[in-house]
Amino acid sequence: MHHTNHWYGHAHVLAEYCGLDDTANPPRIDGVLQHGWNVGSGLGPRTRRAPGKTVYVWSEQVRRRAWSMGLRETIVVGSPFLYLLATQARDGVHPDDGPPREGTLWYPFHGWEKQSVEGDHERLIEEILATEPGPVTFCLYWHEYGNPVIRAAYERAGRVICNGYRGNLREQTEQKFLHNQLAELRRHRRVASNRLSSAVMYGTAAGCTPAVYGDPMYLAEEDVATAQRIRRRWPELHGADVDLAAARRTALDELGDGYLASPAELRTLLGWDDVAAIAPTARTEMTPAEMAPARVAVAA
pLDDT score at 86: 96
Q: What is the pLDDT of residues 22-61, one digit of tens each?
A: 777 788 898 999 999 988 887 876 666 666 789 999 999 9
- Does the pLDDT of residue 291 top 80, yes or no? no
Regarding whether 132 and 203 lie in a shared domain, the answer is yes
Regarding whether 122 and 37 lie in a shared domain, the answer is no
Regarding whether 183 and 118 lie in a shared domain, the answer is yes
pLDDT score at 94: 82
* 197, 107 Cβ separation under 8 angstroms: yes
Regarding whether 76 and 197 lie in a shared domain, the answer is no
Regarding whether 167 and 31 lie in a shared domain, the answer is no
**261-290 average pLDDT score:** 66
In a domain, 214, yes or no: yes
Regarding whether 169 and 50 lie in a shared domain, the answer is no
Range of the domain at 130: 104-251
In a domain, 284, yes or no: no
Regarding whether 138 and 232 lie in a shared domain, the answer is yes
pTM: 0.88
Give Cβ neighbours of residue 206 (< 8 Å, ≥ 6 apart). Answer: 85, 95, 182, 185, 186, 191, 298, 299
In a domain, 36, yes or no: yes
In a domain, 185, yes or no: yes
pLDDT score at 238: 97
Q: What is the pLDDT of residues 210-221, one digit of tens each?
A: 999 999 887 777
Regarding whether 222 and 175 lie in a shared domain, the answer is yes
In a domain, 298, yes or no: no
Regarding whether 236 and 136 lie in a shared domain, the answer is yes
* 20, 13 Cβ separation under 8 angstroms: no
Regarding whether 124 and 240 lie in a shared domain, the answer is yes
174 or 11: whose pLDDT is higher?
A: 11
In a domain, 124, yes or no: yes
- Residue 33's nearest CA partner among 65, 18, 11, 59 is 11
Number of domains in the chain: 2
Regarding whether 236 and 109 lie in a shared domain, the answer is yes
How many other β-carbons are positioned within 10 Å of the β-carbon of residue 198? Answer: 20
- Residue 82's nearest CA partner among 59, 109, 114 is 59
The CATH number of the domain holding residue 188 is 3.40.50
- Does the pLDDT of residue 123 top 80, yes or no? yes
In a domain, 84, yes or no: yes
Regarding whether 48 and 29 lie in a shared domain, the answer is yes
Residue 11: φ, ψ to 5°: -65, -35
In angstroms, the CA 253 to CA 56 distance is 16
pLDDT score at 276: 47
